[in-house]
Each structure stands twice: as structure tokens, then as C-alpha cells.
Amino acid sequence: MKLVSLISGGIDSPVAAYLMARRGVELVAVHMDNRPFTDEKNLEKAAKLVKRLEEVTGHPIRSYVVAHGPNHVAFARNCRRNLHCLFCRRMMYRIAERIAREEGADGILTGENLGQVASQTLQNLEVVNQAVKVPVVRPLIGFDKVEIIGVARRIGTYEISTLPGLCCTIVPEKPSTAARLGDVVSEEGKVPIDALVEESLEGMHVLDPQAV
Amino acid sequence: MYSILKPCRTTAAFEAVPRERLSLDLDRCEEILGPVCTIVANAGVLLVVKDRCEVSLHRDGRLVLKTDSEELAREQAGRIANWLEGTPAVKSNRRQGPAAGYRPM
């Protein structure tokens, strides 16, 4: 099995990637670059995390970077503010789905787990799922943070994930925790989704973990 | 002119908090800052400019200064304040709080 693994630079996603790699899954890593709403340190962390995952799994991981900043601008300027994290995640999934098709992968792998942040309620995860047709694998769905940190420490990703890096600055003050699919789809109609996906993929480039 | 603090444990940035409640008209800020800074992005709810370091301006007046140097953050916050204070881009929210201005550092 081959999965497109979304690697953010945080604690959860490399743990999710490791757990599935341990089960024999081949990984393709994708980092969504949120600059200028984060900083370059998150990109550096993602590259270091992929490098560490290669070491700990013993397998090379093809890795890509996709510019996500322009997508944030489009949603922030045109759509309901409290749904921003839903738009963001649905866009990431769409892009990951396209990469999965091009890479011959079977689905998307994320570090999402239930209830940790506002966008990761069961209702919101269902809304995000509806953006794509490929399976979304979430090996951490029932983990709590202590368990995730325990694995992260054991595989040597925790120290990298907790290096300095700017949190996303475009997160809404009051994000929706129970979005309705109809509302999200209606709001997304205000931006050219397909064109944004194409532009994101056109700007995609290879992330070289060995360069860090 | 600002109070500078680290926004969270893992970040490499400083946050400048206005001394009193403000609202920034970010489109006007873009017009004012355009000739003196590089406009990186205007997302409507957030304006990102680059001067000595990259700065995110929020509508409530907060600045996020992307540097790990507190000295540079203070200098940059001062430069932004000098350019914006007294212009129509800055409005006081007197009904919600005291008068306009930025907290002394």
C-alpha cells in the first residue's frame, strides 16, 4: 500500500507516518507551505522530519512542497471566517488526492486525532472527508497527546517537531467546531477551487530531506 | 511604544500588542506601508509586510514580528507604529476600551 502523508512540521503527522510505515506502507510526503502565514522554520522542520522518518523506517521517502499561502488568501478574502480551517484542510486533501493519483498512491495519511483542535471534531472531519474520494487514513484518531508524544520521543521526531516555528497566524479567532457541509460547499463556491488546486500543483517542488 | 512578548512556547516570533483597543483598516495600511515596505500578502483579515523583518498586521492592531531577535522586533514595531499612527488606517475602539495607542515597551 502507498499513501500520501501530509507532514506539517508538528508532532502528530510524523508519528502517523511512522505507524503506517511500520505496517509496510510506502510513504510519499507532502508539506503544505503556509507562508507567509507561518515562517520558513516550518518548512525546515518538515524536511528534518522526513529525513528522520527515512532513518527510522529505513526507506527513502519521496517528498514534495506545495505553496498553500495563496489558497489561504483566497478563502480569507471571500469566505466565512469561522470556516477557514475547514477550507484549508479540504484544500490540502484535494491537492493530496491529486498527488496520490499521480504517484499511484491508494489514499491520504494524516495525523488528525479526535478533539485535539477545533477543526478535528467528528463533524468537521466528516466535512473534510467529503472533499475527496480517496480513503483518508488517520492512525492517531483515538490517541491522546501524551500517547502521541511518547511515540514521537521514541522515534526521535519530538525534538524536531518542537523546534521554534511560527504557528499559523491566519487561524480564525472562533473556528467552527460543528460545520455543516452545505455551508462549507456554498462558501467554497465563492472561490475558484479547481484553478487554485491547479496553481498549487503547478508550483509544487521536490523537498530534499538530505539538503537540511 | 509596544509591549513585546513571545506568542507561544515554540515560536520564533514576537507579538506587539496595542496599548489600547484599536482597529486597523488593512487596505489603508497597505496603501500607507506599500511605499516603505514590501507587501507580501493582504488576506483581508491579515496584512503581511516585509521591512527589517516580516510582520503580520491584524485588524485588532496586533503585530506578529517574525524574528527571534527581541531588539529587531522592538525596532520593527516602532517603525510600523511611526508609519501608521495618526493616519486614517488606525481607529480607536473607545466603546470597547480606552483610547488609541500602543502599550509602552
Domains delineated in chain A: 2-211 (3.40.50.620)
ipTM over 0.85: no
- A158-172, A174-188, B4-18: which is most confident: A174-188
Q: CA nearest B65 in A: which residue?
A: A166
pLDDT of residue B6: 65
C-alpha dihedral sign at A184, A187, A189, A194:
negative
Percent of chain A predicted with pLDDT > 90: 88
pLDDT of residue A134: 97
pLDDT of residue B94: 61
pLDDT of residue B11: 67
Per-residue CA distances from B88 to A47, B25, B26 (Å):
43, 8, 11
Residue B96 has pLDDT above 60, yes or no: no
Chain B neighbors of A77, CB-CB under 8 A: 43-44
Distance from CA of B82 to the nearest CA of A (A): 23
User: Residue B24: in which H helix or E strand, if any?
Assistant: strand B22-24
d(CA A174, CA A171): 9
Contact residues, chain B to chain A, C-beta under 8 Å: 7-8, 10-13, 40-46, 48, 54, 56, 58, 64, 66, 68
Kindly report the pTM of this predicted structure: 0.90
pLDDT of residue B95: 53
Contact A76 B45 (CB under 8 A): yes
Contact B48 A81 (CB under 8 A): no
Contact residues, chain A to chain B, C-beta under 8 Å: 36-37, 39, 41, 69, 72-73, 76-77, 81, 162-167, 169-170, 172
Supply φ then ψ for residue A29, to 5 degrees.
-90, 140
d(CA A56, CA A58): 6
What is the architecture of the domain spanning B3-92? Answer: 2-Layer Sandwich (3.30)
Read off the pLDDT of residues A71-86 as tens digits, 9 standing for 90 and up.
999 999 999 999 999 9
Q: How confident is the model at residue B100 (pLDDT cuts 50, 70, 90)?
A: very low
